[in-house]
């Protein structure tokens, strides 16, 4: 595969994360894919947000699972942006999408949307939760699954294989040549998060990685340090 550049929550270093504004900016900046995060609202909507609560990224408070979609719609996610649902991103973004399941209960709902929308080829599904990926792999075996991990112990390859993942997304600060070599030997591609500084990009090359998730437009990230507040997927 050619090197894959993924816009992390859009381009969260310069736009409000996980908003349509951020995803559209990422697409204009030429990323190969955009990454987003999914939780279920109280009434079962696929809400695009990283945290389990709305507190950090909106002007509201409370766990997503305790709020209805109507309540979430009233929140400001930054610069006047609303909190999108997954279907809106599918409609407004044309590039491939990495959808990360944060709430394992979202797996079945996501699978249903991908099937109904005929988007099984454009969307890959990521998660730290092996059981969520296994469910997606069972329900929609044609959908690409990506194991996300920060614990890069000896079980990383068998874990990826068990959920049908041909790509793993790993913490750059934990990556070693040994981990990359073991994955590549098993036919599993490796991308890293979060790659923002010139030093980070140099490390991706030194490790022979296949891709990177970045908080910044790629050209900008290679030239300056990341904005404050960047974090893991």
Catalytic residues, by residue number, are 8, 50
Compute the distance between CA of residue 191 and CA of residue 212 in angstroms, rounded to an integer: 5
Place of tokens 């408070």: 61
**Cα radius of gyration (the chain):** 17
Other CB atoms within 10 Å distance of the CB of residue 205: 10
Place of tokens 């929140």: 75
Place of tokens 């491939």: 96
Other CB atoms within 10 Å distance of the CB of residue 148: 24
Place of tokens 């010139």: 198
- Please report the sign of the dihedral spanned by the C-alpha atoms of residue 196, residue 215, residue 232, residue 118: negative
β-strand pairing of 46-48 with 33-40: antiparallel
CA-nearest of 91, 51, 103 to 72 is: 51
């Amino acid at each position: 595969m050619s090197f894959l550049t993924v816009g992390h929550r859009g381009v969260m270093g310069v736009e409000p994360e996980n908003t349509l504004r951020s995803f559209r900016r990422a697409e204009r900046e030429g990323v190969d894919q955009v990454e987003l995060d999914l939780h279920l609202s109280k009434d079962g909507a696929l809400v695009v947000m990283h945290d389990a609560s709305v507190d950090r990224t909106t002007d509201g408070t409370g766990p997503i699972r305790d709020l209805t979609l109507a309540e979430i719609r009233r929140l400001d996610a930054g610069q006047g942006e609303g909190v999108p649902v997954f279907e809106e991103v599918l409609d407004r973004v044309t590039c491939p999408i990495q959808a990360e399941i944060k709430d394992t209960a979202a797996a079945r709902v996501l699978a249903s949307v991908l099937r109904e929308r005929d988007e099984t080829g454009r969307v890959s599904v990521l998660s730290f939760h092996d059981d969520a990926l296994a469910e997606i792999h069972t329900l929609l075996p044609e959908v690409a699954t990506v194991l996300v991990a920060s614990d890069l112990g000896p079980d990383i390859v068998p874990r990826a294989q068990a959920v049908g993942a041909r790509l793993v997304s790993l913490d750059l600060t934990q990556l070693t040549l040994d981990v990359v070599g073991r994955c590549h030997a098993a036919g599993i591609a490796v991308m890293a998060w979060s790659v923002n500084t010139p030093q980070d990009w140099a490390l991706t090359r030194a490790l022979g990685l296949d891709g990177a998730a970045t908080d910044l437009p790629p050209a900008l990230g290679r030239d300056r340090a990341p904005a404050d507040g960047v974090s893991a997927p």
